[in-house]
């Protein structure tokens, strides 16, 4: 098959999924065109480990075209993205037809008030993709109660839409009932490198902790990650000697000025019980090693009912998680016994959960079962089978 993999966004898990998908599909014998703002870098990264795939991987620059994509109106921006992809595919039509266009992050191509009749006329390719944030868990919200035409996912009624991989397995019957297309569960794997225990940042944490148990919060440090609730909870625990390790790029614009002051005061006030490094973690190996050192991972995100690759990274190292008591992460924590759930803005519940996990891992935790389902290898197999079926 001749496939176009479309990824509009650079960085983070977007590039991880793109590299993994392109490698797996090319390895399965497909001709894979990588449509991305910097596709040569992705291709070269793949070929470093898999040079034999060179003939099947075709990079082509995907960029914004036309006035719509630069509009301040989000609906027009998304229409402009569809037109930009169409223009890129049109340039490539002389090299042969595409069997399927696969959007690596389908969500950012969905919007309310765009007519499916317009989309079917404007984008004449069969398409599918990865649907990361289905509206299933928002059915009772104002967004979920909107008429169909005002829901962002109504574009899945397009005649050329073939199906999607979904990062919420529970939502599949609901999606199939609404759209009468094929949906399959996407394994939630993280960027799991071998731990680099010699990385300077890792050795620094080890020396700081000096044998004490660690509760970690790693990765992009935005407000919704619940960092404020974590430090408020840590301040309530007086009779336990442990370390709160917070590391990653601080997304300061997501906090109010008062919250930034509180965060600075709280992390300083915890003294030698808080290892705070608000800067990017250098390298996947260092990230994995930091996670592997932890006794618990704090993943109780606010206003978030969707998935996170950090839950899978923690599971690989058998690190139990504290997650919010709603959404797919809570379901997985309960189903596999790999963590505890709390109200994400309640520091008392967070403090209780921290103390419980510092006393020992949950009894009956099924980390191995979770990792068998949510692994890179399972993602590759599921993707290839899904594309072949379509």
The reported pLDDT for the residue numbered 67 is: 85
CA within 13 Å, CB half, 124: 6
Residue 317 burial (10 A CB sphere; 0-12, 13-18, 19+): middle
The reported pLDDT for the residue numbered 222 is: 95
Tens-digit pLDDT profile for residues 254-311? 999 999 999 999 999 999 999 999 999 998 899 999 999 999 999 999 999 999 999 9
Domain ranges of the chain: 2-187+375-389, 200-373
- Three-state DSSP class for residue 170: helix
CA within 13 Å, CB half, 109: 28
In whole angstroms, what is the distance from residue 123 CA to residue 141 CA?
31
Residue 280, C-beta contacts closer than 8 angstroms, at least 6 positions apart = 248, 249
We find that the CATH architecture of domain 200-373 is 3-Layer(aba) Sandwich (3.40)
Q: Can 2-187+375-389 and 200-373 be said to share one CATH topology?
A: yes
Region 2-187+375-389: CATH code: 3.40.50.2000
The reported pLDDT for the residue numbered 376 is: 92
Residue in 171, 140, 175 with CA at minimum distance from that of residue 157: 175
Q: Are 309 and 190 in contact (CB under 8 A)?
A: yes
The reported pLDDT for the residue numbered 125 is: 97
């Amino acid at each position: 098959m001749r496939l176009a993999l479309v990824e509009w966004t650079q960085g983070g898990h977007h590039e991880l999924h793109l590299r993994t998908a392109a490698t797996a599909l090319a390895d399965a014998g497909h001709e894979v065109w990588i449509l991305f703002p910097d596709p040569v870098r992705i291709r070269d990264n793949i070929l470093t480990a898999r040079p034999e795939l060179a003939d099947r991987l075709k990079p082509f620059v995907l960029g914004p075209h036309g006035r719509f994509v630069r509009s301040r109106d989000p609906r027009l921006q998304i229409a402009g993205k569809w037109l930009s992809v169409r223009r890129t595919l049109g340039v490539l039509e002389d090299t042969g037809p595409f069997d399927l266009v696969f959007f690596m992050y389908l969500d950012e191509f969905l919007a309310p008030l765009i007519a499916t009749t317009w989309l079917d006329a404007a984008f004449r390719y069969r398409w599918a993709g990865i649907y990361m944030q289905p509206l299933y868990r928002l059915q009772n919200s104002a967004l979920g109660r909107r008429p169909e035409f005002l829901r962002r996912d109504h574009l899945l009624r397009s005649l050329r839409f073939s199906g999607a991989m979904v990062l919420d397995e529970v939502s599949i019957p609901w999606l199939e009932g609404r759209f009468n297309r094929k949906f399959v569960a996407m394994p939630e794997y993280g960027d799991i490198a071998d731990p680099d225990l010699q990385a300077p940042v890792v050795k620094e944490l080890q020396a700081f902790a000096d044998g004490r148990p660690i509760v970690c919060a790693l990765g992009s440090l935005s407000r919704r990650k619940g960092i404020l609730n974590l430090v408020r909870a840590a301040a309530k625990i007086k009779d336990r000697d442990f370390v709160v390790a917070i590391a990653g790029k601080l997304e300061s614009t997501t906090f109010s000025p008062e919250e930034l002051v509180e965060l600075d005061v709280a992390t300083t006030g915890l003294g030698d019980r808080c290892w705070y490094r608000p800067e990017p973690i250098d390298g996947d190996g260092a990230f994995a090693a930091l996670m592997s050192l932890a006794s618990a991972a704090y993943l109780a995100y606010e206003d978030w009912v969707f998935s996170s690759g950090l839950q899978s990274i923690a599971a690989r190292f058998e690190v139990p998680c504290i997650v919010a008591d709603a959404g797919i992460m809570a379901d997985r924590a309960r189903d596999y016994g790999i963590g505890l759930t709390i109200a994400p803005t309640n520091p008392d519940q967070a403090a209780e959960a921290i103390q419980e996990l510092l006393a020992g891992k949950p009894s009956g935790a099924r980390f191995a079962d979770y990792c068998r389902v949510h692994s890179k290898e399972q993602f590759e197999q599921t993707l290839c089978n899904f594309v072949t079926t379509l």
